[in-house]
Every structure is written in C-alpha cells, then in structure tokens.
Structure 1
C-alpha cells in the first residue's frame, strides 16, 4: 500500500524582505490602535500639518416621537404635527458605515530598503492594518493593488473570507518581487487616480499607500479634486538612503543596480557625486511634493523602512500620540 505523501512545508520568507499570508493575519492584533470613525483626525508631523475629518455616509432615521423641551425645532415633522395636533420630531442616528478604499503600490520600485524593512512590506502590512480595522467597524473595504503589469481591483466587502482571499493575493504579489528583475513598470502612479476618478467615488475614505516616486503635481491636483467629496489620505513611504548615503559606506562598499546595470561606490569622488544627486533629487521631488500635498489640505502620513511603521501609523490615525 502506497502511503500518501505530505505536501512540502512552505518555504519561510525573511519578514524584512517579504510579507506572507500568516503575517497579514497576525496584524489583526494591532487593529485596535486605529480609529477610523468620522470624528477622528489625521495629522502629519511634517511641515504644513493639516487635519481632515473622516466622513460618515449620513444620518439614519430612527424614530418619530413627541416633541420635548430642548429638541431641535428643525427636526419637527410638520405633516405629522398637523395631522395629530401634537408636535412630533424625527429622531436620527449617525450612520458610521463608510467605504474605505486602499490603493497599494507593489511595483518594483517598492522592493527597496537600506534599513530594516522593504517599502513593499511596509505597504502590505499597513494595507492589512487598514483592512482589519475597517472590518472591525463593519465598513465596506475595497483594494486597488498595483504591480508592474496591472492594477487589480478587489470589490468592496464586509466579509472576512473575502478579505483573507485578498491577503493571499497580496502576499503572492509581494513575494513575486525580486532584485533580479529590471525596474521598469507598465503602470504609473496616475493609474490609481484614473481608477478613482473613473468610478466616481463619493463619501469614501481613500488611503494611497506608496512611495509616491513618480507622482506629479498634476496627480496631486486631481487628488485635491477628489478630496472635495472624499477623504484622501496619502501614505508616503520613504527610505533614508533616498536622502543621503550611509555614513559607514567607507567600511562597507555599496553596490547599486537596477536589475540590468550596476556599479560600485568604491571611491570617495563617486560617493560625493551620488550623495549630491540624492540630496538634489530629494529636495526637487520628494520634499517639494510633500509640501504641495500639505498645501492642498491633504493630511500626509509619513512612514519609513526603519521598522516602526505599524506604531507610527497607529499614532497618525486616531491612535495614542504618546
């Protein structure tokens, strides 16, 4: 009799380089650090701090009752009052159900870090955190997942099974990233906004989790338009190496490549040239873009690859500031 063979155990992934399905499930334990209710505020520690109240979907009619002293006369139901001869008011409760949309960037440019955790892992874990919290609050949550080849849309749901199915897709997409591929994407940041505009979102809370490397001022203007009827929350993931080379580079020679070409920063002149270019690029693009986002009234959430992203995100989004 032939004994059935066991399926091979899944190959463990370095959690600094890749996320996995189990990790995205474990993040549920941190969902209590968020507060996505309509009266919560998002604020940035960067220059140009702005706050934004998250929108609810409206008010639900709850009851029709006799007028009592102190009731708002604007809620008097005049038809019922005239019919009965007694003043009646309509009672309402706040409807806290919302549509939460998470746009998550998993392109090759996100497979980068010089410290603790890849940008792509940070984005995946923050997405899971938002998803779990939205589910806890019985909100509808949908996802727009972008990789180098396509944008995949996960329809709005309150179902945990649907959320878990998306996490499996997210984990597979994340683990498909590698340093061997050439960092060329068929998708651009503007595809996020194209989708949101095309679907005419209204009254939604929109998180865009990306490094925003190819976002343009025009993209920010379009998001500002969306902000008029939604709550748009940019989540910008950066890495210290994007601002300057590490100070210990003299002891550890750094090799830089894009999957096709690479070179070594073995000489001081090379390091100085690259350092100058990095600082100039950061000042001209990332820093100016962040300031532009803030001036448009969009609340910037700034995270890094240093490994404290879950704690910081909890502080930004209605959590304990201490």
Structure 2
C-alpha cells in the first residue's frame, strides 16, 4: 500500500505554492513556540507525558513516576480527535471520500507538528468505542496513525459518535494539549457544547468540519445518491427539485451558523474543508486566525 504521508506531502506541494507552505509552516511554529525551562513543581506522570520530563530521583524516592513541571511550559502535543464512524465513508464536497480529506487534514497538521519537533497523539472511534494511539514524534508513527484512521473508517459498521469521542478526551486527557477535532457536518448538540466547554478549561481547541457532498444531484448527472447510514437511495423524483434543494440548503446554512456562533463564543478556531485542493489555504486561515486571537504571544492560548 502506498505511503499515506507521501500522498499527503504530494498534495501539499502540488496544490499550494511555496509561499503558502512557508506561511503555513510559520503560523504553526508560532503557535507552538516558547518552552520555558523554569522549574516549578512535580506532578504525577500521566499518559502522554515525555520520558525526558520524568524526575527519576523523585520517582525513586517516592515510588511513583513524577514529572517535572516548568512555569509556562510550552504546549507541545497536538491531539487529533477523528470521527471514524460509518458516515465518514460518504463523499466530501469534492466528490471524493471524506475519509481521504480527514487523512489529508490530520496528515498536513501532523507533518507540520513533526517539522517543529512536537508530539502528536490520536483519539478515534465510532458509536461502538473510542480508542487512543500512543504519542508519536516520527513519520513512522504518523503513517501508523493515518493508516489506523483509514482502516477504522473502512471497518466501521456503526454511526459516528462525536460526543462520545469528546467525552472520552475530557475523561482521559488532563495534560494540556492542542486538540484538533476532525468531524463532518452532523449538527452539534447541547451535549457537544457541554463537552467543548469542559475541553476549553484544560485545552486549546481547533475544529475542522469536512463538508459533505450535495445530497441532491441534477438529473443530468445520471447518478444516484445513497445514504451511508440507512442505505436509502434518494428517489429519482427528488433529483434536481429546486424546492427541495432550497429547503436542504436553508437547513444546512442554519446548522452551520449555529456551529459557527457556538465555536466563536467558546473561542474555538474553526475551518470548513471542502476539497483536498483547497485544504492548505483553509488550514492557513485557521492557524493565522488562532494566532491572531492569541496576540502572537509565546505560550498563549490558541
């Protein structure tokens, strides 16, 4: 099977200029720079902490792993939270699988994370369960994460459970991270907002929405849409119906506005990814927006 990282890199450089890649690289670096080495105190080791931060003398003396914590320690781990339920096998707005767009997004940000010596980890799952990969700092680990996302999506037979994934993160991840949520256009719920409020207390959060393909096609296409969850085919008489298209568009716009307002209120950066060709400039706008909200400060909240 061809390397997924290689595919992501080829798309990064094929669909973006050197100037935009440099800007994307710089914006990402600005968000993660500035680790302080001023020692502050010790705390218990948590899953995802770096071995280099363990205080071995204190650990041996007290009999439990302890980590040295510095004042204003740089947030150096990016946590990708990726929906891998059945709906991710559907098409994105560019008529290609949403799964491929999710891999493109996680891969691009993962490559930037590695370029700057930072760590990443991945939480993924569906309505059956949530799972977490160990932290990584190599292209091999990123390749494994991308392949895991791909395989989990292909093998899923149950719906997405975005709220379950967010709940899993709030319950199991306490060390401060940049949390990047990669999900589709499913409407957010009151539980989604509650989970996001809890996440924002401890973490910095970015949200990537993968735009779904239009559910109704024109008769001229000669194709039929099918719902991946119900396997229900869109009836032929619906194809090209202007009134139905207007109704679906209005509903989608209302849901998108509600999501945008909620994320803005919670100070969560948001980007809508529609196609692999346009993903890089959309990510660039997201990172620059997050950087401007932080005021360009080292160790500032994203």
Q: 2: CA distance between counterparts of 1:99 and 1:114?
A: 30
Q: CA deviation at 1:138?
A: 1.6
State how far apart, in whole Å, the 1-side matches of 2:146 and 2:33 are: 26
Change (3 A) 1:276 1:309: same
Q: Quote the Cα distance in structure 2 between the aligned partners of 1:115 and 1:160.
A: 27
Residues 1:36 and 2:17 are matched in the alignment? no
Give 1:23's aligned residue. 4
Residue number in structure 2 paired with 1:294: 264
Contact 2:79–2:177 (8 Å) recurs in 1:
yes
Counterpart selection for 1:275 from 233, 245, 251: 245
How is 1:152-301 mapped onto 2 (pairs within 5 angstroms)? 152-176=131-155, 184-185=158-159, 187-239=160-212, 241=214, 245=216, 249-259=218-228, 260-266=231-237, 271-301=241-271
Does the CA contact (< 8 Å) of 2:82 and 2:181 recur in 1? yes
Aligned Cα RMSD in Å?
3.3
More helix by share: 2
SS at match of 2:161: coil
Rg larger for? 1
Structure 1: any 5+ residue segments left out of the alignment? 1-9, 11-20, 41-53, 63-91
Aligned residues: 245
**Aligned twin of 1:109:** 87
Unpaired runs of at least 5, structure 2:
13-20, 40-69, 290-302
Alignment of 1:117-156 (within 5 A): 117-147=96-126, 149-156=128-135
Cα distance change on mapping 1:261 and 1:240 into 2, 3 Å = closer
Mapped to 1, the partners of 2:256 and 2:36 lie a distance apart of 40
Query: In structure 2, how many angstroms separate the alpha carbons of the residues matched to 1:93 and 1:218?
Result: 33
Deviation at 1:306, TM superposition (A): 6.4
Would the aligned equivalents of 1:101 and 1:206 in 2 still touch at CA under 8 Å? yes
CA distance in 1, matches of 2:212, 2:282: 15
**SS of structure 2 residue aligned to 1:215:** coil
Higher strand share: 1
- TM-fit CA distance, 1:228: 2.9
1:100–1:275 distance in 2 versus 1, CA, 3 Å: same
Cα displacement string for residues 80-133 of structure 1 (whole angstroms, at most 9, x for unaligned residues):
xxxxxxxxxxxx998545111001122222222353432221111111112222
- The verdict on how the C-alpha distance between 1:159 and 1:113 changes in structure 2, with shifts beyond 3 A counting, is closer
